[in-house]
Structure 1
Amino acid sequence: MKYALISDVHSNLPALEAVLRDIDERADVDYVYHLGDLVGYAPWPNEVVELVRERRIPGVAGNYDSTVANDYKHCGCKADSARGEELSHLSYGWTRENVSPQTKRALGELPFRLDVRTRGGHTSKPQMVLVHGTPTLNTLYWTEDRPDAFCLKMARAAGAKEGDLVAFGHTHKPWTREVEGVHFVNTGSVGKPKDGDPRACYVLVEATEEGLETPEFVRVEYDLERAMEAIRKSELPDEFAEQLRTASSAVPVPD
């Protein structure tokens, strides 16, 4: 069995369409799951959620999804500057105002986590635990510099054991590690990468008779200009377009 894991689409319809085309062209992917944050920052929240529903892609609630669905006071996003904080509030306000009732309901139906037993429910291993941030909170950032002890703490919280995999997103920066036989993978971001590579990112995981293979990162070119132009034509801040081009969370400095 081969699984495609996508995360952090953030309303970027051209990026999602390109990733799904890439997955379809491979022909050997059996299942696709999403790890949340379908909306925010780009002008296609309703279209992205509808496409995910049309494709019947199961997934979990990212912090953006759950806060929009529940009309929370903010998106639970972390900013590196005062302007970054302001931008996060502007994006959140625009998204809440522009999601349809159907989209809001769909976001509210997403579970916090999904457990996938690759050999069926009659066996306990191997298991994939799918969350957005961590197995404890979808707002907690699980960055690559977290020590092994933190990873093992999260594995215990998830009930993951040797041979299992814990997959998550939220930071928009892909990385993978194995600690005491447990695989950990940050799937990166489909629609808003922050690792300096503007291409959409997703992960392939293969389950064999021996267990789960090391996750494979896939980068996909998409119509970046279309996404940037749509942001500029919307009421969203133009900075979000530049962040797509640079694949960074940094706030552009005006000339």
Structure 2
Amino acid sequence: MRLVLLSDIHANVTALQAVLKDIEGIGEFDAYVLLGDFVNYGPRPNEAIEIAKQLPKPVLVNLWGNHEYSIFGGSLDRFSTDRGRAVLKYTNAILTKKSRNYLDTCMNHQGFEEKVIEHNTILFVHGNIDDPYWGKFGIDKMNDERYAKYDYVICGHSHIPHYVEHFFPSENQVYRNKKRTIFINPGSVGQPRNHNPYAQYGILDTETGNYEHRGVWYDVAAEQRLFNDSIDKFYKERLILGV
């Protein structure tokens, strides 16, 4: 199964449209995986959700991130800044009834989902195994033996892409007493933070194991012009550098 991995779109419709245009040129694929945080920070959450409703392939996984969770009553204390709390309140105020219905009925509220695909056991999670919404996932988390049961752990939230093959001890002489788990983060479509302002996503083929990380140019200035004074300028200025 060939999967398109999209995460942390954050209501950046210009970036999302550029990514979807790029996807048209990658050849056949089977499904989308949406890893959370469709909304907030950006100026057009309702438009982003309308695009999600019309994706031309099935959506295999559609997770709440911490921003969807917060829209539906999650504590605002988890936001590290006042500007983060303020922009969430703004997003909450402009979401339409149809958009709320999509977030509530079409997305997985748990922030994680396990699937078996072509003999691969896969954990899809927005954050990490301890905190599916807010948990940061970095190299330091990959030694956790709870991940050893999975062939892939695919996450979002950090806005920083990674691909790491990690080997856990295992009583399996055929594989030289090692068990491989592949950790993937496709980065962020709408708010990248790896010093690369391009809209980023991933393509995983679960049959061959091939993985491709892609960065797509989009008109950052055009997206920035859509921000109004209700959204702190920090969220549009960071788009220039990908920070």
Q: TM-score with structure 1 length normalisation? A: 0.82
> Which of 56, 59, 64 matches 1:61?
64
Match of 1:122 in 2: none
Q: Distance in 2 between matches of 1:133 and 1:50?
A: 25
Match of 1:115, SS?
strand
**What percentage of aligned pairs have identical amino acids?**
24
Helix, strand or coil: the match of 2:206? strand
| Distance in 2 separating the partners of 1:75 and 1:169 | 21
SS of corresponding position for 1:3? strand
Q: Structure 2 matches for 1:70-149, cutoff 5 A? A: 70-74=72-76, 76-77=78-79, 79=80, 85-109=81-105, 110-111=107-108, 112=110, 113-119=112-118, 125-137=119-131, 138-144=133-139, 146-149=140-143
Write the distance in 2 (CA, Å) between the matches of 1:20 and 1:117.
26
**1:234 CA drift (Å):** 4.8
What do the CA deviations read for 1:58-99 (whole angstroms, capped 9, x no partner)?
Answer: 41110101221x23331744x3xxxxx021111111111111
Aligned to 1:29: 29
For 2:125, the aligned partner's letter is V
Higher strand share: 2
- Give the 3 Å change call, closer, same or farther, for CA 88–32 of structure 1 in structure 2: same
Whichever residue aligns with residue 76 of structure 2, its letter is: H
**Following TM superposition, by how much is the alpha carbon of 1:207 offset from its aligned partner in structure 2, in angstroms?**
2.2
The amino acid of 1:236's aligned partner reads: I
How far apart are 1:29 and its partner, in Å?
Answer: 2.1
Q: What's the CA shift for 1:20?
A: 1.0
Paired residue type of 1:239:
F
Partner of 1:235: 230
Runs of 4+ in 1 over 6 A off after TM superposition: none
| Match in the other structure for 1:177 | 164
Q: Which letter maps to 1:46?
A: N
User: In 1, are the aligned partners of 2:153 and 2:183 still within 8 Å (CA)?
Assistant: yes
Tell me, in whole angstroms, the C-alpha distance in 2 between the residues paired with 1:53 and 1:218: 23
Q: Given the two structures, how large is their TM-score scaled by the length of structure 2? A: 0.85
- 1:14-62 deviation per Cα after TM superposition (whole angstroms, max 9, x unaligned): 1111111111222222211110000010111111111112215341110
C-alpha RMSD of matched pairs (Å)? 1.8
Inter-CA distance 3–98: structure 2 relative to 1 (3 Å threshold): same
Q: Structure 2 stretches of 5 or more lacking a match?
A: 168-179
Aligned length: 224
Per-residue CA shift, 1:221-248, capped at 9, x if unaligned? 11211111111x3521112111111211
Specify the SS of the correspondent of 2:100.
helix
